[in-house]
Amino acid sequence: MKKFLITTGYIILILGAISMLAPFIWMIAVSFMTDNQIFSFPPSVIPNPLIFDNYSSVFSKLPITRFFFNSLFVALLTTVFQVIFSAMAGYAFARSDFKHKDSIFFIFLLTMMIPPQVNIIPLFFVMRELHWVDTFQALIIPGIFGGLGVFLMRQWFKGLSKEIEEAAKIDGCNTFEIFYKIAIPLAIPAIATLSIFTFITTWNSFMWPLIVTNSTDITTLPVAISQFKGSFREIIAWGDLMACSVILSLPVILIFLAGKKYFINDILAGSLKE
């Protein structure tokens, strides 16, 4: 019976993996197909012949390189600053004693329960009063503060041994030195996990950049992809759309592969804590 349950679990996991990979594989295949191949019946997963016209068409129709670097610039800066602020706040909540600490942390947790769509209108008015509409500040600054990052870092720092900090204090280290010389190096798995989450969320963000930007100079790639869609009078260029989607997916895949080792270590470390 136990062997049957294990086998059944593996089968379910394999089917789940296939169901998730199938759309991604189809997206890549369509990006190398002509319109006749895309709408052929029965459908073919393997492009024959393999064409690259969709990718050249994407770069000729839109300044994709500019949009790509806009998205990369926004995602990287947002990730860096959110990791810095979340690490500092998380360490303060985990290791410092100050008045109303628990109440303030509870407010941070409440922000995680508010749907992002609720904040769009008031946040837009704030950006307008600051004259930040259609600027990189509007794309970056609202994303560098988040309750999830503070919660994640706080939980990690709470699991660190107090004996290490006490030994550092005996050696003459102050609080800031303990933070960046001892706590930060030990928290690399948590920092990598937060970096992956933040980068992917920011890179894939569509609604906020669509609302707060107007000019092509700061348009991000997810917003640019929407320009390939058609109306009821237009035909969607599926090949171009899928080629642009492949370009959009590449940084996310590379970031995850680069931080996969730390991400897994963070999960294992969390499962082993008492």
Q: Mind listing the pLDDT tens digit for each residue in 152-204?
A: 898 888 887 788 888 888 878 888 888 888 888 888 888 988 999 999 999 99
- Exposed, middle or buried: residue 199 (CB in 10 Å: 0-12, 13-18, 19+)? buried
DSSP labels for 114-150?
S-HHHHHHHHHHHHHHTT-TTSHHHHHGGGS--HHHH
How many independent structural domains does the chain possess? Answer: 1
The pLDDT of 108-125, averaged and rounded, is 86
94 located within any domain = yes
Give me 183's structure tokens: 């706590």
Residue 238 structure tokens: 């599926």
| Structural domain boundaries, residue 113 | 62-272
pLDDT band at 137 (very low <50, low <70, confident <90, very high): very high
Q: How many C-beta atoms surround the C-beta of residue 77 within 10 A?
A: 17
Name, in order, each residue with C-beta under 8 angstroms of 182's C-beta and a sequence gap of 6 or more. Answer: 164, 165, 168, 173
CATH, residue 248: 1.10.3720.10
- Is 139 inside any structural domain? yes
C-alpha dist (Å) from residue 196 to 46, 75, 253, 254 = 32, 10, 10, 10
Structural domain contains residue 9: no
Residue whose structure tokens are 């303030």: 104
Q: Which residues of 131-168 are buried (b: 16+ CB within 10 A; e: fewer)?
A: ebbbbeebbbbbbbebbbbbbbbbebbeebeeeebeeb
Element housing 3 (H / E): helix 2-30
Residue 142 lies in a domain: yes
Residue 47 lies in a domain: no
Residue 134 domain-assigned? Answer: yes
> d(Cα 108, Cα 196) in Å, to the nearest integer?
21
Q: Is 111 exposed, middle or buried (0-12, 13-18, 19+ CB in 10 A)?
A: middle
Give the rounded distance of the alpha carbon of 206 from its chain centre: 12
| Average pLDDT value for residue range 65-85 | 94
Report pLDDT digits (tens) over 17-38: 888 888 888 889 888 888 888 8
pLDDT of residue 271: 40
Residue 30 is assigned to a structural domain of this protein: no
Question: Is residue 85 included in any domain, yes or no?
Answer: yes
Query: Which pLDDT tens digit goes with each residue over 218-254?
Result: 999 999 887 766 544 456 778 888 888 899 899 988 8
Ranges 73-87, 159-173, 225-239, 259-273: which has the least confidence: 259-273
